[in-house]
Amino acid sequence: MENIFINSFPFSKEAAEHLKELEIDIKTLPTDFPTSFKEAFERLRNLMDTNNLPDKINTSLTSPEVIIYAIMRVFLELLDEDLLRNRFAETFSKRTEKILLAQQDEIFLTKLASNTFNWQIKKEPHTGVRTSEWQLRFNNFLEVAPNFIANDWKLINQELHDGWVSLKKEKLVRLLAEKAKTYISQRKISREEIPEVPESYNSYLNELRSKISLLRKNFENQPIYSDEIMQTAYPPCIKFIIDKTEKGENLSHSERLFLTFFLLNIGTSIDDVMNIFTTQPDFKEEMTRYQVEFAAGKRGSGTKYTSFGCAKLISFGLCKKELDSTDYCIQGKVFSKVLKNPLQYYRARIFSLVPKNKQ
């Protein structure tokens, strides 16, 4: 059972302890584990080509899954490329969700939550009418739930008893998968801690770097918006303002301009932008339509305004980087480039979230 667990979740605390016992030397990985080394390289190459990793996992006693994962992490640290790191974390998040939903044994779910993520979790007590299966401490819920913009993920819309949030298995698994993504993406090794690797790495690293360059080129040439406006890709400053509109709170003039410019720039229709403002206490349809159409270049001089940049948002007090669920705002970088505008953030998230064949 333990072997199945660590091969299913090679990022887990148990997997890390198993690797520590093996006393792996990064310099001799190509010779100590030649088959796993090549498999790790192939998986990363496939990840960049298809945005996927193998769904089927070998969980036998002799499975090399944990070793392959460790080698992939070595490659990630040597390449030090956020684009690949984020894609890697996103894919393992999806795989974690699939595994947990398919598992009937509850021990996998509780083990991952408690041991690796240090979450407090328990089964929902049996009562006359039980609508949920699990309970999670509210502070653990809030670690990742704000990443989801839908109203049914807001704490105020949850069933809460003495600090415990009641959840069905599907929602709990979704939270665990999201936590796995942030857990993996944030586990970085400083450059000083990475030893110099032998020449046997070079050909593999050079090919991966070449693929990364192509990925970055595709990213920079993609449209600012996708066919489907993905709310999960909104930067925290936009999420914050939209949350205020949903509560019917009055927006400042700067907030209204920024929200309008941003939404129009990512392809939101004039009518959809109008609809967002209907919750404003002082909403006047004719005036609002005129202002939105003016911002879209349909009236006046015909100029279509771009989104406020990050510097202007900071000066207006509209920057909300402390609410960011990614590293983009905190580090001030998107795929190794300085983050200057929320549109960069949005494009980066779209690139990470949308399957390649839909971009």
pLDDT in tens, 127-138: 656 567 899 999
| pLDDT at residue number 213 | 84
- The closest of 165, 184, 187, 168 to 96, measured between CA atoms, is 184
Q: Check residue 110 and report its DSSP letter.
A: H
pLDDT at 130 (0 to 100) = 58
Instruction: Considering only residues 243 and 150, tell me which one the structure prediction assigns the higher pLDDT.
Output: 243
Residues 39 and 76 placed together within one structural domain of the fold: yes
Residues 213 and 244 both lie in one domain = no
Residue 302's region, left for phi above 0, alpha for psi from -120 to 50, else beta, is left
Which domain-ending residue is among 192, 221, 250?
221
Does residue 260 share a domain with residue 239?
yes
Average pLDDT estimate for 209-221: 74
Q: Based on the number of CB atoms within 10 Å of its own CB, is 342 exposed (0-12), middle (13-18) or buried (19 or more)? A: buried
- For residue 107, being part of any structural domain is answered with no
pLDDT value of position 319: 92
Q: Which of the residue ranges 95-104, 155-164, 219-228, 254-263 would you say has the lowest mean pLDDT?
A: 219-228
Residues composing the chain = 359
Sign of CA dihedral 24, 30, 32, 37: positive
Residue with structure tokens 């949903």?
A: 246
Q: Let me know whether 142 and 54 are in one domain.
A: no
- pLDDT given for residue 219 in this prediction: 58
Is 122 within the bounds of a domain?
A: yes
Q: Are residues 211 and 319 in the same domain?
A: no
**279 is a domain residue:** yes
User: Residue 227: what pLDDT?
Assistant: 45
State how far the Cα of 263 lies from the Cα of 140, in Å rounded to an integer: 31
pLDDT greater than 80 at residue 126: no
The answer to whether the beta carbons of residues 314 and 136 sit under 8 Å apart is no
- Is residue 156 a part of any domain in this protein? yes
**CATH number of the domain bearing residue 160:** 3.30.200
Sign, CA torsion 45/50/52/57:
negative
DSSP state of 312: H
Q: What is the number of domains present in the chain? A: 3
Q: How would you class 205 by CB atoms within 10 Å of its CB: exposed for 0-12, middle for 13-18, buried for 19 or more?
A: middle
Q: Convert the pLDDT of each residue in 341-357 to its tens digit.
A: 999 999 888 877 765 44
The answer to pTM > 0.85 is no
Q: Phi/psi of residue 314, each to 5°?
A: -65, -45
Contacts of 349 (CB under 8 A, 6+ apart): 230, 232, 233, 234, 326
Query: Letter for the amino acid at 279?
Result: T
85 and 188: one domain? Answer: yes
Which pLDDT does position 256 carry in this prediction? 92
DSSP 27: G
Q: What tokens appear for 46 in the block?
A: 């496939």
Phi and psi at 205, nearest 5°, equal -65, -40
Q: Are residues 66 and 187 in the same domain?
A: yes
- 322 pLDDT higher than 50: yes
Evaluate whether residue 110 is within a structural domain: no
10 Å Cβ neighbour count for 232? 13
Same domain for 336 and 248, yes or no, is: yes
pLDDT value of residue 221:
58
List Cα–Cα distances, 209 to 90, 212, 304, 336, 347, in angstroms: 20, 5, 38, 14, 21
Residue 51 counted as domain residue? yes
DSSP string for residues in 152-181: GGSGGGSEEETTEEEE-HHHHHHHHHHHHH
51 three-class SS: coil
165 bridge partner residues = 136, 160
Asked whether residue 300 is domain-assigned, the answer is yes
Of the pLDDT bands very low, low, confident and very high (cuts 50, 70, 90), residue 36 is very high
**Residue 40 identity (one-letter amino acid):** A
- Could you say which DSSP state residue 141 is in? H
pLDDT band at residue 225, thresholds of 50, 70 and 90? very low
Domain interval for residue 89 = 2-100+182-221
Q: How far is CA 199 from CA 24, 71, 203, 204, 212, in A?
A: 18, 16, 8, 10, 20
| Beta-ladder partners of 123 | 134
156-185: pLDDT as tens digits? 888 898 999 999 999 999 999 989 988 998
* 124 in the same domain as 254: no
- The candidate with the shortest Cα–Cα distance to 307, out of 339, 260, 272, is 260
Q: Is residue 138 part of a domain?
A: yes
In this structure, the answer to whether residues 237 and 346 fall within a common structural domain is yes
- The residue ranking higher by pLDDT, 129 or 15, is 15
Same domain, 92 and 196: yes
* pLDDT band, residue 328 (cuts 50/70/90): confident
Reported as half-sphere exposure (CB side, CA atoms, 13 A), residue 137 has a value of 10
The candidate with the shortest Cα–Cα distance to 240, out of 335, 316, 128, 296, is 316
The answer on pLDDT for 317 being more than 80 is yes
Indicate if the pLDDT at residue 11 is higher than 90.
yes
pLDDT digits (tens, 9 = 90+) for 50-95: 777 777 777 777 778 899 999 999 999 998 887 788 788 888 988 9
Q: What is the DSSP letter of 132?
A: -
If asked whether residues 217 and 239 sit together in one domain, one would say no
